[in-house]
Amino acid sequence: MRFRLGTIEFGIEIGEVKEILRLKEPQKAQWAPGFIEGLIKVRSMTLPVIDLRKRFSFQAVPTETARIIVTSADSLRIGLIVDEVSDIALGAREVTLKPESSDSVWDDCLEVIVETGSGKVFIINPSKVLSVEEKKYLACPVKDQ
For the chain, domain boundaries:
2-139
Tens digit of pLDDT for each residue in 39-78?
999 988 899 999 999 999 888 787 899 999 999 999 899 9
Instruction: Give the residue from 83, 76, 89, 78 showing the smallest Cα distance to 123.
Output: 89
Backbone torsion region of residue 83, taken as left when φ is above 0, otherwise alpha when ψ lies between -120 and 50, otherwise beta = alpha
CB atoms within 10 A of CB 124: 23
Tens digit of pLDDT for each residue in 99-141?
666 666 677 888 888 888 788 889 999 999 988 888 887 876 5
CB atoms within 10 A of CB 77: 14
The pLDDT assigned to 117 comes to: 78
> What phi and psi values does residue 82 have, to the nearest 5 degrees?
-125, 160
Task: Determine the average pLDDT of the residues in 70-94.
Answer: 86
Higher pLDDT, 32 or 74: 74
The pLDDT assigned to 145 comes to: 35
**Which CATH architecture does the domain made up of 2-139 adopt?**
Beta Barrel (2.40)
